[in-house]
């Protein structure tokens, strides 16, 4: 029974749960970006190239087809995901800096210091 308890403690640590949530959200985000590239960006590229799909791009050498279009689409997907993640992280960091830059209210002077200052001022008079 000790093994199961130890595994439960390990699995329920904050970092593990956060990582699991990040992986699920990252997968969903990847699907959103792939949908964006498949439905909007790639048709625009296809218009420019004059092909039905970028996946059709390729060349043949000695009867062997090299479909470089599939690779190009994967590269475009990667660049878009990296760009959007960069922008999200940059925005989050800017928001954190604004929170940190907000001046904190000065701490109240402790009562014993106030009393000592009053005594000092009274002695000066």
Q: What is the CATH number of the domain that holds 28?
A: 1.10.1200.120
Coil, helix or strand for 65? strand
Bridge partners, residue 1, by sequence: none
Count of the separate structural domains present in the chain: 1
Give per-residue pLDDT as tens, 14-37. 677 777 788 888 888 888 878 887
Please answer whether residues 41 and 83 qualify as being in contact, where contact means their C-beta atoms are separated by less than 8 angstroms.
Answer: no
3-state class (DSSP) for residue 28: helix
Q: What is the mean pLDDT of residues 39-46?
A: 81
Give the whole-number percent of the chain exceeding pLDDT 70.
95
| pLDDT computed for residue 16 by the predictor | 74
Structural domain including 93 reads 2-124
What is the C-alpha separation between 80 and 76, in angstroms, rounded? 6
pTM over 0.85: no
> Region 49-53: what's the mean pLDDT?
74
| Beta strand residue intervals within the chain, DSSP E | 59-61, 64-66
**Which alpha helices (DSSP H) does 1-125 contain, by range?**
2-11, 14-36, 42-49, 68-101, 111-124
Q: Is the pLDDT of residue 11 over 80?
A: no
SS3 61: strand
**Tokens 């000592």 sit at which residue?**
116
Q: N- to C-terminal Cα distance for the chain?
A: 76
């Amino acid at each position: 029974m000790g093994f199961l308890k130890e595994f439960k403690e390990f699995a329920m640590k904050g970092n593990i749960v956060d990582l699991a949530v990040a992986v699920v959200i990252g997968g969903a985000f990847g699907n959103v970006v792939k949908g964006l590239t498949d439905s909007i960006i790639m048709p625009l590229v296809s218009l420019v190239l004059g092909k039905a799909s970028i996946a059709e791009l390729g060349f043949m050498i000695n009867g062997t087809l090299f479909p470089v279009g599939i690779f190009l689409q994967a590269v475009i997907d990667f660049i878009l995901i990296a760009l959007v993640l960069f922008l999200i992280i940059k925005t989050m960091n800017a928001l954190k800096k604004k929170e940190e830059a907000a001046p904190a209210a000065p701490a109240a002077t402790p009562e014993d210091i106030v009393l000592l200052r009053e005594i000092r001022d009274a002695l000066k008079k």
